[in-house]
Amino acid sequence: MTVTSLTAAFPRVAGGLSFDRLPRQGVVVAVFALEDWRGWVGDAFDIIDTRERERVQRQRQERHRDSLALAYALHRLVLAQALGMSPERVPLTRDARGRPLLVGMAVDTSLSHAEGYAAVAVGMCGPVGVDIEPSHRAGGMPDIAERICHGDEYRRIAGYDDAAQGAALLDLWVRKEAFLKAAGVGLEREMDTFALPEGRSHALHAGDAARSIVDLLDLGPAVVCAVARAPDSACAAAWLHPVRVGEPQ
């Protein structure tokens, strides 16, 4: 049996992680299968702000509108838990590129949503970026390999068989997308203009002291998800599912 509101259904703890205390030395990533939350679409529209509702209404298909409303609402609920305030008081806005910002707070956050999944990253250790994609998209990645890869990246991946090549390209796409979100530029910077070796930190901008490291998260076979964060920060992630009546929170 479900609880009666989206706010009440939102868990405070998931996978051993607490989302009601902002991590000062790391980043927390909350991951959602939006289908689990569709019973609260009406509540989602009540939680999001006017500008978010305008973006939602620009979606042509009802299912896409509902998914985007849920992603925006769940983002606000993660932040509300982390900041210790009600969702309507979360000072969330977006810059001209659409990057989420928390006005007047030394907190960084990132949102990604794709084909029924959403991921929210939040932390106090510098710029963060998150990207999530369903794993089945690997099949189409070889067709756009030249748009994703830079230099040796393409030569290395080109030697793989079809399945391995698609998976490697999707991993690289998600890692680069997370990095570009942390840099605050999104896809305005083409992926094929820079390399992103695994396990190494990279300057967010040329000549900039701020650096980021990007890791893939182990979230099971359905999705590929990556988070970009400061090199000396920790990262923890968990799937969040609705709380049911009688379940502890």
Predicted pLDDT of residue 1: 47
Predicted pLDDT of residue 207: 80
Predicted pLDDT of residue 35: 97
Predicted pLDDT of residue 249: 54
Residue ranges per domain, the chain? 6-239
Which residue is associated with the tokens 């009666």?
4
The DSSP bridge pattern shows strands 100-102 and 92-94 to be antiparallel
- DSSP states of 7-59: HHHS-SEETTEESSS--SSEEEEEEEEGGGGGGGHHHHHHHS-HHHHHHHHT-
Mean pLDDT over all residues of the chain?
91
What is the C-alpha to C-alpha distance for residues 10 and 18, in angstroms, rounded to an integer? 12
CB 173 within 8 A of CB 191: yes
Out of 10-19, 74-83, 155-164, 172-181, least confident range: 10-19
What share of the chain has pLDDT > 70, as a percent? 94
Instruction: List, for residues 198-238, the tens digit of each pLDDT value.
Output: 989 999 988 888 899 999 999 999 999 999 999 989 899 99
The reported pTM is 0.93
16 has pLDDT over 70 = yes
How long a stretch of residues is the chain?
Answer: 249
Q: Which residues contact 64 (CB under 8 A, 6 or more apart)?
A: none
Indicate the SS3 state at residue 74.
helix
Q: Residue 137 has what DSSP assignment?
A: G
What share of the chain has pLDDT > 90, as a percent? 75
Q: Which residues contact 36 (CB under 8 A, 6 or more apart)?
A: 241, 242
Please, which pLDDT band fits residue 154 given cuts at 50, 70 and 90? confident
Instruction: List, for residues 26-73, the tens digit of each pLDDT value.
Output: 899 999 999 999 999 999 999 999 999 999 999 999 999 999 999 999
Out of 34-43, 72-81, 83-92, 153-162, least confident range: 153-162
What is the C-alpha to C-alpha distance for residues 190 and 94, in angstroms, rounded to an integer? 22
What is the C-alpha to C-alpha distance for residues 244 and 133, in angstroms, rounded to an integer? 27
Superfamily covering domain 6-239: 4'-phosphopantetheinyl transferase domain (3.90.470.20)
